[in-house]
């Protein structure tokens, strides 16, 4: 493991290894046990997309690991003025010990890894969101004790979250069901990967997808950069909401996850959100612990 560019880069064993390390680091942080694994190391954080959780969790995580993080806005870098990614990668590799990038195109992340000489971490692209899904899997295991054999249901846009949840869930031995409106299915590469498994379902029916689910996950209907599609998406996604009536089809003890920010009343009902707030905000916290595990693994 030299980089974390997408969930497909990880084997099932590597995912579990990262989750085990994340659990350990979380325990140590909660009990005041210092773990300066990255003392003297510096992480550059490139943001072409704005963020709350990604910036704060990586910055605090690096501090807790004894290192430091540099916030690099796309507006302030030459990469935002047309400098080729390959040149930026080669320059930053001489200053930093690792780069986390949150951007639009997956190819930009891949190019940084190809031309740079330090670990690259995908903090989010339009194609993949591996750090979030590691946090999701960590949270599911905390609440359920296991991953293998559980049914994970995702309802909503076939976006970066759907792509990464499908790959991560299947690699961990989960049954994965996904419901999207017609025309909003996950990436073809992800569907092709999932076809290898007989425990994957893709449907346009939310009730079919959620049946007997152990965990139900959703995301906003309109992601960053798609604001011009918002009105159309509200129409196309009508009914794709996690509410109490839908959860009756899941297992009685099903947990609910949302990567945040949530648009309550659209993809998730406000009362469902509040009823499952403990799981959702534990998931948000676990971003930091899961990412710390990635940082230690790549930069330690």
Give per-residue pLDDT as tens, 135-145.
999 999 999 99
CA distance 139 to 289: 11
User: What would the mean pLDDT of 238-259 be, rounded to a whole number?
Assistant: 98
Q: Which of 161, 93, 92 lies closest to 125, judged by CA?
A: 161
Residues 170, 254 within the same domain: yes
**pLDDT at residue 93 greater than cutoff 90:** yes
Statement to judge: residues 44 and 139 lie in one domain: no
129 is in an annotated binding site: yes
| Residue 290 near residue 17, CB atoms below 8 Å | no
Judge whether 78 is annotated as a binding position.
yes
Q: Are residues 60 and 73 in the same domain?
A: yes
pLDDT, tens digit, for every residue of 32-86?
Answer: 999 999 999 999 999 998 889 999 999 999 999 999 999 998 777 777 667 888 9
228 is in an annotated binding site: no
Which one is predicted more confidently, 254 or 222?
254
123: domain CATH number?
A: 3.40.50.1370
90 annotated ligand binder: no
212 is known to lie in a ligand binding site: no
Which positions are catalytic?
102, 129, 132, 219, 259, 287
The structural domain count of the chain equals: 2
Q: What pLDDT does residue 80 have?
A: 60
- Are residues 255 and 157 part of one domain? yes
Per-residue exposure over 18-27, b if at least 16 CB sit within 10 Å of its own CB, e if not: bbebbbbbbe
**pLDDT tens figures, 197-209:** 999 999 999 999 9
Q: Which domain does 23 fall in, by range?
A: 3-129+287-299
Residue 99 sits in the same domain as residue 158: no
Q: Does the annotation flag 234 for ligand binding?
A: no
Q: Considering the chain, what percentage of its residues have pLDDT values greater than 70?
A: 99
> What is this structure's pTM?
0.96
Annotated ligand binding at 141? The verdict is no
Residue 45 vs residues 31, 58, 212, 261, 283: alpha-carbon distances, Å? 28, 8, 40, 21, 22
Residues 24 and 118 in one domain: yes
């Amino acid at each position: 493991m030299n980089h974390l560019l997408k969930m497909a880069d990880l084997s099932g064993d590597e995912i579990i290894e990262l989750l085990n390390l994340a659990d350990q680091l979380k325990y140590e942080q909660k009990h005041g046990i210092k773990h300066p694994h990255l003392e003297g190391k510096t992480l550059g954080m490139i943001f072409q997309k704005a963020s709350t959780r990604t910036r704060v969790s990586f910055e605090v995580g690096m501090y807790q690991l004894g290192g430091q993080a540099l916030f690099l806005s796309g507006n302030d870098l030459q990469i935002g003025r047309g400098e080729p990614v390959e040149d930026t990668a080669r320059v930053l590799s001489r200053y930093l010990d690792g780069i986390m990038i949150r951007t639009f195109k997956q190819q930009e992340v891949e190019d940084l890894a190809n031309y740079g000489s330090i670990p690259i971490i995908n903090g989010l692209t339009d194609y993949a969101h591996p750090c979030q899904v590691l946090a999701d899997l960590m949270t599911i295991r905390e609440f359920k004790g296991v991953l293998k054999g559980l049914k994970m249901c995702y309802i909503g846009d076939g976006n970066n979250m759907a792509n990464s949840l499908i790959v991560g869930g299947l690699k961990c031995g989960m049954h994965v069901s996904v419901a999207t409106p017609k025309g909003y299915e996950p990436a073809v590469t992800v569907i092709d990967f999932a076809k290898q498994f007989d425990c994957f379902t893709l449907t346009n029916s939310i009730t079919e997808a959620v049946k007997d689910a152990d965990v139900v996950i959703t995301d906003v209907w309109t992601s960053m950069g798609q604001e011009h599609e918002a009105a159309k998406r509200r129409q196309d996604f009508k009914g794709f909401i996690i509410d109490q009536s839908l959860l009756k089809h899941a297992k009685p003890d099903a947990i609910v996850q949302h990567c945040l920010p949530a648009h309550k009343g659209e993809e998730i009902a406000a009362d469902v959100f509040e009823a499952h707030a403990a799981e959702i905000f534990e998931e948000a916290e676990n971003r930091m612990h899961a990412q710390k595990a990635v940082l230690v693994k790549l930069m330690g």
